[in-house]
Structure 1
Amino acid sequence: MKAKAVRMYGEMDLRLEEFELPEIKDDEILAKIYSDSICMSTYKLAIQGKKHKRCPQNVDTNPVIVGHEFAGIIVKVGKKWQDQFKPGMRFAQQPALNYKGSMDSPGYSYEYYGGDTTYCIFPHETMELGALMPFDGDSFYKASLGEPMSCSIGAMHAQYHTKQGVYHHEMGLKRGGNLIIMGGCGPMGLGAVSYAVVCDYHPKRVVVTDVDDAKIARANEVVPPSWAAEHGVELQYVNTAAMDDPKQGLIDLTDGHGYDDVLIYVPIPAVAELGNDVLAYDGCMSFFSGPSDKDFKAKVNLYDCHYNATHIMGTTGGNNDDLIEANKLAADGIIDPAVMVTHVGGIDSIAETTKNLPNIPGGKKLAYTQLNMPMTAIEDFGKLGESDPFFKKLDECCKAHKGLWNPEAEKLLFEHFGVTVDTF
């Protein structure tokens, strides 16, 4: 069958093209893809090409489908899996496979397996690892955003704390402690804030830093402190660029205690160093934001590491349990992953959006692969709606949801472009 996909041939060489998908084998599954959220990791793949650890060396002759934050519907199931999966099942998927030590992942390594496509083939290793799972939510975008949300959930599960003289780690954020998310007003940070407020071991205080007043204003609107207070959490957004002494100013927000948990959400040495400086005794700092520079370094206080039991760690991606947790929280309406999304477009917008991702302001760029549409900022819907009734409807729909993308908007998009959601 024919598929249309964004495929990578080398460094910054992304092409939208149509090609023939082979028939699935008995241990494979064919899926129709409806949505994919564009990740900065895909941009890093594009700029590195063959130098990326997950990219095959023959990519110039055997291009890979990019995109790994995708969701859709199962179309055809190979014999091996017919007792577990059925056509018509909506799914979410975990791209961090790590199958038998391999770094191969959808969106990086496979010719026929990725998210920026109309159809793709799930290889046997995905099902063997339990990385293909049903999704019971009311929209595809929530399942797409489950993967980035699971990364933040995994990072918080991986935090740890100790007791003096006891060689045992207490995993997770410090319950009732102080958490700071540095550079946290971007899309991933807002997802992390949402989870930190509702997780079982939530802190008593969450401080979120940024240096952009517009991003801070949006954060206050879409993940407001009043909502956090309903869950017993004090939430505060601060602009560290406006502080005379950021280190002391941040510590003062904790009544002098410092931060039990520090999450670094931007790959900037000065931000990591500030995060290290505000750690409390037994504080754990996670460097979450993966840099593309292999020589990325920042100064750390090893005196505090020795005498104040501070520790530094990092995670990349989440596991299946993290994704299941993310999907359930979204499906149950406990968190709204739409706080991450600021732009929506079609499959024809993916290549250029990916190549220019660092230069496009805002948060997550959400693509619907069964239609063509320029990548469009949600905040621009109103202006476009002055001359286009479709965007007027979209604007009204999003404004009714605090300016956020939502299931009703997704349905409007599908109706306008004649996209049918397959049922079997």
Structure 2
Amino acid sequence: MKTKAVRMYGLDDLRLETFDLPEMKEDEILVKVISDSICMSTYKAVKQGKNHKRVPQDVDTNPIIVGHEMAGVIVKVGKKYEGQFLPGQKFSLQPALNYKGSPFSPGYSYPYFGGNATYNIIPPEVMELGCLLVYDGDSYFGASLGEPMSCIIGGYHANYHTVTGKYEHIMGTKAGGDLIIMGGAGPMGLGAVDYALAIDNRPKRVVVADISDDRLKRAARFITPERAKAAGVELIYVNTAAYDDPIAHLMSLTGDKGYDDVFVYAPVKVLVEEGDKLLAKDGCMNFFAGPTDHQFNAPINLYHVHYSNTHIMGSTGGNTDDLKEALYMAANHLINPSVMLTHIGGIDATIDAIMDLPNIPGGKKLIYNHIDMPLTAIEDFGKLGENDPLFKALHERVEKHNGLWNAEAEAYLLKYFDAEA
């Protein structure tokens, strides 16, 4: 069987090619990859080439398929996994394999297994580790976005609080507490707010701090304070650039108590410093954003660490249980991962989207592998629809869902290009 895929040959070397997949073995699974959302980690890998720890040294002669936030449908199941998986099932997967200590993972390391391809052969280690997951939702994008959502969920689970007088950690964000997301109006921040409103141990107050009015307005449109109030949460959006003393203003929102949980969603030194200052007694700050500078650092108040029991930690990625939670919540419409999405495109748009990812505004970019379409901002569908019937139809379906990408729009797009599974 032939597949069409974006392959990496080394530093800044991506190529869209059609080639033959090898014959599937009895311990492998053949899948049709419908969608893949582009991760900044892919951009970083392309910018490092074989210097990236997950990229094989022979990538120049044995190229790998990029992309790891994939979803699709199972086509054929090898004999070993017959009955456990069935043709026609939707799937997602946990890309952080860590198989027998190997750093290799899809999107970085495999010649026939990655998200930016029409067809893949999933190797046996994925099934052995329980990383191939069946998805019961009504869309593919919900499964593709399960991986970034699992990272958010992992951050919430990784935070912790203590019990006075006991050597005991209570895992998770504080129920009924104050939570703030610094640099929080981007795609991952929106996912974090969406998740906060859905969990059982939800906070009483969520503050989203950012310095962009445009991002904050978009965030407030998709996740309204009214919706949060209905869930029992006070949601406040704050442009900290509008205040001479942003710390004083943010503290005042908690009655000067401070925040039980602080998430720093951008690798900016001043945000780390401000987050530390905002911590309440026994507050936990999670440095969620991954810096590229190995020497990135910021001062923290060790007096408060000692006397107020504040704690600093970091989290990156989510485990398989986090992904299962993300997929379950998305499939049952408890969360809406599409709040992270701002652009849609076809496989022909993948290379340019990856190479220019830091300069493309907005949130997550979603690629549909079986269509050809320029990477297009969802907010531009209306204007484009004045002359293009496809975008007119997509705009109508998006507007029915408050401007968000949705299962109805996805189904229309796939049918239009005859790309249904």
TM-score normalized by the length of structure 2:
0.98
**Partners of 1:26 and 1:209 in 2: how far apart?**
51
**Partners of 1:363 and 1:135 in 2: how far apart?**
23
Corresponding position: 1:351 with 2:351:
yes
* AA partner of residue 298 (structure 1): A
Aligned residue for 1:179? 179
Aligned residue for 2:108? 108
- After TM superposition, the structure 1 = structure 2 runs for residues 315-334 of structure 1, keeping only pairs within 5 Å, are 315-334=315-334
Give 3-state SS (helix, strand or coil) of 1:226's partner: helix
Task: Report Cα offsets for 1:266-298 as digits up to 9, x if no partner.
Answer: 111111111111111111111111112222222
Aligned residue for 1:308? 308
**Partners of 1:36 and 1:106 in 2: how far apart?**
12
RMSD: 1.0
Task: Report Cα offsets for 1:12-48 as digits up to 9, x if no partner.
Answer: 2111111111112221111100000111111111112
Corresponding position: 1:11 with 2:14:
no
**Partners of 2:110 and 2:305 in 1: how far apart?**
42
Corresponding position: 1:205 with 2:205:
yes
Deviation (angstroms), 1:83: 2.6
Give 3-state SS (helix, strand or coil) of 1:71's partner: strand
TM-score normalized by the length of structure 1:
0.98
* AA partner of residue 53 (structure 2): K
Task: Report Cα offsets for 1:336-358 as digits up to 9, x if no partner.
Answer: 11100010000010111011111
Aligned residue for 1:383? 383
Deviation (angstroms), 1:302: 1.7
Task: Report Cα offsets for 1:291-321 as digits up to 9, x if no partner.
Answer: 1222222222222112211111111111111
Deviation (angstroms), 1:165: 2.6
* AA partner of residue 102 (structure 1): S
Corresponding position: 1:37 with 2:32:
no
* AA partner of residue 402 (structure 1): N
State which drifts further: 102-111 or 132-141.
Answer: 102-111
**Partners of 2:110 and 2:315 in 1: how far apart?**
23
Aligned residue for 2:67? 67
Give 3-state SS (helix, strand or coil) of 1:166's partner: coil
Aligned residue for 1:215? 215
State which drifts further: 350-359 or 285-294.
Answer: 285-294
Aligned length: 421
**Partners of 2:8 and 2:273 in 1: how far apart?**
36
Deviation (angstroms), 1:384: 0.6
Give 3-state SS (helix, strand or coil) of 2:137's partner: coil
- After TM superposition, the structure 1 = structure 2 runs for residues 391-402 of structure 1, keeping only pairs within 5 Å, are 391-402=391-402
Aligned residue for 1:234? 234
**Partners of 1:202 and 1:234 in 2: how far apart?**
11
Aligned residue for 2:142? 142
**Partners of 2:223 and 2:62 in 1: how far apart?**
43
What are the ranges of 5 or more consecutive residues in structure 1 without an aligned counterpart? none
What are the ranges of 5 or more consecutive residues in structure 2 without an aligned counterpart? none
Aligned residue for 1:279? 279
Give 3-state SS (helix, strand or coil) of 2:168's partner: strand
**Partners of 1:113 and 1:254 in 2: how far apart?**
48
Aligned residue for 1:335? 335
* AA partner of residue 319 (structure 2): N
**Partners of 2:172 and 2:19 in 1: how far apart?**
45
**Partners of 1:410 and 1:308 in 2: how far apart?**
50
Task: Report Cα offsets for 1:105-154 as digits up to 9, x if no partner.
Answer: 11111111110000111111111111111111111001001111111001
Give 3-state SS (helix, strand or coil) of 2:67's partner: coil
Aligned residue for 1:263? 263
Deviation (angstroms), 1:164: 2.6
Deviation (angstroms), 1:51: 2.0
Aligned residue for 1:20? 20
Aligned residue for 1:77? 77
**Partners of 2:297 and 2:6 in 1: how far apart?**
34
**Partners of 1:98 and 1:340 in 2: how far apart?**
27
Identical pairs, percent = 62
Deviation (angstroms), 1:420: 2.6
**Partners of 1:412 and 1:208 in 2: how far apart?**
34
Aligned residue for 2:360? 360
**Partners of 2:258 and 2:226 in 1: how far apart?**
23
Q: Which runs of 4+ in 1 moved over 6 A?
A: none
Task: Report Cα offsets for 1:379-407 as digits up to 9, x if no partner.
Answer: 11111111111111111111111000011
**Partners of 2:208 and 2:416 in 1: how far apart?**
38
Corresponding position: 1:224 with 2:224:
yes
**Partners of 2:291 and 2:109 in 1: how far apart?**
20
**Partners of 1:164 and 1:99 in 2: how far apart?**
39
**Partners of 1:331 and 1:2 in 2: how far apart?**
31
* AA partner of residue 298 (structure 2): A
